[in-house]
Amino acid sequence: MKTESIASCNTPFLTRTELLRQSFFPAEGKVSRQRMAFVTGLHGDELEGLYVGHRLLSFLRDIEENNPSALKGEVHIYPAVNPPSLNHSSRLWPGLGTDMNRTFGLARPMTLPAQFSAKLLEDIKTHADIAVDFHASNLHLRELPQVRMIDKWSSSLMPLAMATNTDLVWTHPMADLFSATLGYNLNKAKVATLVIEAGICHRITPEFRDQVFAGLIHLMKQTGILDESVSVQGRLKNPLKVRANQVVSIGSKQPGLFISDAHLGEFVGANQPVGNIIDPVRGEVMEEILAPVSGLLFTLREHPLTYAGSLLARIALEKEPPP
Ligand SMILES: [Zn+2]
Rounded distance from Cα 133 to ligand 1 centre (Å): 9
Rounded distance from Cα 234 to ligand 1 centre (Å): 27
CA distance 250 to 306: 12
Rounded distance from Cα 136 to ligand 1 centre (Å): 6
CATH of 243-316, one of 1.20.1440.230, 2.30.30.90, 3.40.50.720, 2.40.50.100: 2.40.50.100
Section 40-57 average pLDDT: 96
Q: For 83-104, how does the pLDDT look when each residue is reduced to its tens digit (9 = 90+)?
A: 999 999 999 999 899 999 999 9
**If pLDDT is split at 50, 70 and 90, which confidence band does 34 have?**
very high
CA distance 227 to 109: 40
CA distance 147 to 168: 6
**205 contact partners, CB below 8 Å, separation of at least 6:** 48, 142, 198, 199
Rounded distance from Cα 50 to ligand 1 centre (Å): 12
Question: What's the longest Cα–Cα distance across the chain?
Answer: 73
Q: Is the pLDDT of residue 234 over 90?
A: no
Q: pTM for the whole thing?
A: 0.95
The pLDDT of residue 32: 65
| CATH code linked to domain 2-238 | 3.40.630.10
Rounded distance from Cα 46 to ligand 1 centre (Å): 6
Rounded distance from Cα 179 to ligand 1 centre (Å): 15
Rounded distance from Cα 42 to ligand 1 centre (Å): 6
Rounded distance from Cα 90 to ligand 1 centre (Å): 11
**If pLDDT is split at 50, 70 and 90, which confidence band does 11 have?**
confident
Rounded distance from Cα 58 to ligand 1 centre (Å): 23
Rounded distance from Cα 220 to ligand 1 centre (Å): 23
Rounded distance from Cα 89 to ligand 1 centre (Å): 12
C-alpha to C-alpha distances, 159 to 33, 151, 153, 277, 323, nearest whole angstrom: 18, 14, 11, 40, 27
Q: Is the pLDDT of residue 217 over 90?
A: yes
Percent of the chain with pLDDT over 70: 99
**245 contact partners, CB below 8 Å, separation of at least 6:** 320, 321
- CATH 3.40.630.10 domain span(s) along the chain: 2-238
Rounded distance from Cα 43 to ligand 1 centre (Å): 5
Contact at 8 Å (CB) between 191 and 130?
Answer: yes
Rounded distance from Cα 52 to ligand 1 centre (Å): 14
Q: Is the pLDDT of residue 119 over 90?
A: yes
Rounded distance from Cα 158 to ligand 1 centre (Å): 21
Rounded distance from Cα 137 to ligand 1 centre (Å): 7
CA distance 175 to 148: 13
- CATH 2.40.50.100 domain span(s) along the chain: 243-316
Mean pLDDT over all residues of the chain? 95
Rounded distance from Cα 84 to ligand 1 centre (Å): 15
Return the DSSP state at 71.
Answer: B
CA distance 214 to 236: 8
Start-to-end Cα distance in the chain: 52
Q: Is the pLDDT of residue 28 over 90?
A: no
